[in-house]
Amino acid sequence: MTTTRQDTDATRALQGLEDSRSAVRLRAALAVGTAPDPRFVGKLVERCAIEPEFFVRDMLTWALVRHPVSLTLPELLREVRSERAQARSQALHTLSKIGDRQAWPAITRALLSDADDEVARSAWRAAVVLVPEGEESALATVLATQLGRGEEKTQLSLSQALVALGDVMVPALRAATTASDPRVRAHALATQRLLHDPDAGFESAIEEAKRVVALTGAPKTDDENRADR
């Protein structure tokens, strides 16, 4: 069988994705995306699960987006069920970039509340891109269960996802402002501010919200409210 120049280039690119040097892997991912080939899809997805460098992973995602959805979608949908957290996170990130709503059923509540913050953040971003019309309110309710979670970076990601849903998330957010957990209340109040003032910085919004929560104290229970009457 005659080996063509295209075959040689493909072999070199696939080998480059496994090189120990990140610069070589980056160039290989760029080459693969520049000349899409069905033979690349499996290796790209496989590499996403283990690639240690962020900027290389980003190029791998770009390369996958350059391939037909009919080839990438089945591979990515399998990957979101992987036991490896990075595999789930990167597959969700890539699905958000592809933006095909056929992937929506794969965005499960389990992924939206994944124990790994990076997976959950990727799931939140994918969800607001892929959610079908009419299901935004239900999504907002699920996302609101994650308020108060994690460090500032994680909280910012959730707030951005909720704000991206627009006014449909207001009822879920309003309910969270009366939660018993002060972290949940503060996060909800900060998200409210971002909804009304998109230019407000999250750091200042969350600090202001914490002060408000500290000053107002815990919300009264129904029994306490009845006792006051």
Question: CA 92: distance to chain centroid?
Answer: 6
DSSP assignment of 6-22 equals HHHHHHHHHHHTT-SSH
Q: In order of start, what are the domains of the chain with their CATH numbers? A: 10-130 (1.25.10.10), 144-220 (no CATH)
Residues 6+ apart with CB under 8 A from 94: 48, 61, 64, 65, 72, 76
The predicted pLDDT at position 168 comes to: 94
How far is 150 from 153, CA to CA, in rounded Å? 8
The pTM of the full predicted model, rounded to 2 decimals, is 0.88
pLDDT confidence bin for 7, thresholds 50/70/90: low
Mean pLDDT, range 48-75, rounded to an integer: 97
Other Cβ atoms within 10 Å of 186 Cβ, number: 26
Residues 6+ apart with CB under 8 A from 70: none
